[in-house]
Amino acid sequence: MVLAASLAWLALSILLSLPWLRGLSEVVGVGLAVFIITFIAYVPGFMNAFLIGSILADRRPRRARIEHYPDVCVLVASYNERENITDTLQSLALQDYPGQVRVLVVDDGSTDGSCELARQAAARLSRPGMDMAVLAMPRNGGKSRALNAGLAATTEALVVTVDGDSYLRTNALRLLVERFLSDPPGTVAVAGCVLVRNSRLNLLTRGQEWDYFHGIAAVKRMQSMYHGTLVAQGAFSLYTRQALEQVGGWPECVGEDIVVSWALLKTGARLGYCEEACLFTQVPTTVGQFARQRQRWSRGLMEAFARHGSLLFKRRMSTLFIWWNLLFLPLDLVYTLAFLPGIVLALFGYYWIAGVMTLLVLPLAAIWNAIIFRVQARMFKNHDLKVRRNVLGFLFYTVGYTMLLQPVCVMGYAAELLRLRKTWGTK
């Protein structure tokens, strides 16, 4: 039903765009005009329509309280997190999880003294039911190596990953495990909800608050409905040890979380999402940090296709989203190389690319934003969270954010194609 409605919207979009297509064809030719309009209007319109329909039709199993909570190990990968690691461990110590929790900080050769701070915090915060320890790597080897070392040093059947610059809500770990145990058979991983902690620093962090709250969370929620959340992000996710060991742990690459997620999907497993298990993370505060982070994400996507591209032809519901991700590259390219120049041309009275027809996308975008906000705000209210006023950030998110994001993604694709040096971190 959702797919049929989305295809109907696509057909209507094509019909309405015919005058625009004829006009642009006179300037750049039919083939290029079709390509540009497809990735400026048709594909984004279909994606938004499908997302709206899926969120409205969300019928996942209810998260249930359970009688026995299994033992869990939490791997905290940390590299030069002096300013954050103590807060991260404090938030873990305050968890209301009824079972046994082992927290292992894997310090990946930090040079800022954060390893010693982690040791002090672990000694102070350990208590019955919450054992904390630090594993110091002899030198910096990357996040994958750090996580695999932590995996080898622990034995619990459930493994949760948390970044060293994060702060978990008191019930986050419990809700994540409850979601995992309530999901359909075959679920081997569940992504938690990652939100922005430092959103009040500047316009960039304010915009990212909406990206995490609105965009990333909505997409993960939609994907989980079709049994295939594409990324159990390293910042906060639960995995079964058996599944991780089956695929050889986290691979040595810059996008270890997306690549290991696709490896799990390749086995036929299901990946879920728990929008109620909230973790707050420190997002990049400068354009340079933001660019490095999102380029790393783009390179991770390309690594996933290089290693697990056969998922494009796997007969399962989540295959739609693998193709969806494949379209990101031409979407970002057309936006950067055609739509942004088209806006400049429109300022001088040439409406070949950006004009009246592109405004037809706005009503659907407005509906999409309203529905996602309502769904997310309801979840916040149910868990005693408050959506903070961030009007300036929302205006930046809706108008200027993609003008920064998509060119940065294109730079990430280029860096991966050129095999430029890869590093862990954004700071």
Structure-block tokens of residue 347: 């300022």
310 or 355, greater pLDDT: 310
Identity at 95, one-letter amino acid code: Q
Is residue 407 a contact partner of residue 291, using CB atoms and an 8 Å limit?
Answer: no
Model confidence band, residue 360 (pLDDT cutoffs 50, 70, 90): low
Task: Choose among 332, 308, 314: nearest CA to 43.
Answer: 332
Average pLDDT estimate for 377-391? 82
Residue 113 buriedness (CB in 10 A; 0-12 / 13-18 / 19+)? exposed
Reply yes or no on whether the pLDDT at 176 is more than 90. yes
For residue 186, the tally of other CB atoms under 10 A from its CB is 11
pLDDT band at 423 (very low <50, low <70, confident <90, very high): low
Helices (H), 38-140: 43-56, 85-93, 114-125
**357 band by pLDDT with thresholds 50, 70 and 90:** low
CA dist., res. 337 & res. 76, Å (int): 40
**Cβ-contact 229, 269 below 8 angstroms:** no
Q: What's the mean per-residue pLDDT of the chain?
A: 91
Least confident of 173-182, 198-207, 297-306, 365-374: 365-374
pLDDT bracket for residue 316 (50, 70, 90): confident
The residue ranking higher by pLDDT, 25 or 383, is 25
Q: Would you call 8 exposed, middle or buried from its count of C-beta atoms within 10 A (0-12, 13-18, 19+)?
A: exposed
Residues 105, 285, 198: CA angle, nearest 5 degrees: 65
- β 158-163/236-240 pair status: antiparallel
Mean pLDDT of 20-28: 92
Q: If pLDDT is split at 50, 70 and 90, which confidence band does 264 have?
A: very high
Least reliable range by pLDDT among 32-36, 139-143, 366-370: 366-370
Calculate the alpha carbon distances from 385 to 94, 108, 388 in Å. Answer: 17, 34, 9
Look up residue 25 and give its two tokens.
Answer: 């064809």
Name the more confident of 426 and 293.
Answer: 293
Alpha carbon 208 to chain centroid, angstroms = 12
- Contact partners, residue 53, CB within 8 Å, separation at least 6: 1, 2, 5, 6
Q: Which CATH number fits domain 72-313: 3.40.50.720, 3.90.550.10, 2.40.50.140, 3.40.50.920?
A: 3.90.550.10
pLDDT per residue over 89-119, tens digit each? 999 999 999 999 999 999 999 999 999 999 9
Is residue 205 within 8 Å of residue 283, measured between CB atoms?
yes
- The arithmetic mean of pLDDT across residues 287-306, rounded, is 94
Per-residue pLDDT averaged across 194-212, rounded?
94
Residue, of 157 and 370, whose pLDDT is higher: 157
Q: Quick one: pLDDT at residue 361?
A: 67
Distance CA 260, CA 273 (A): 16
Helix (H, G, I), strand (E, B), or coil: what is residue 305? helix
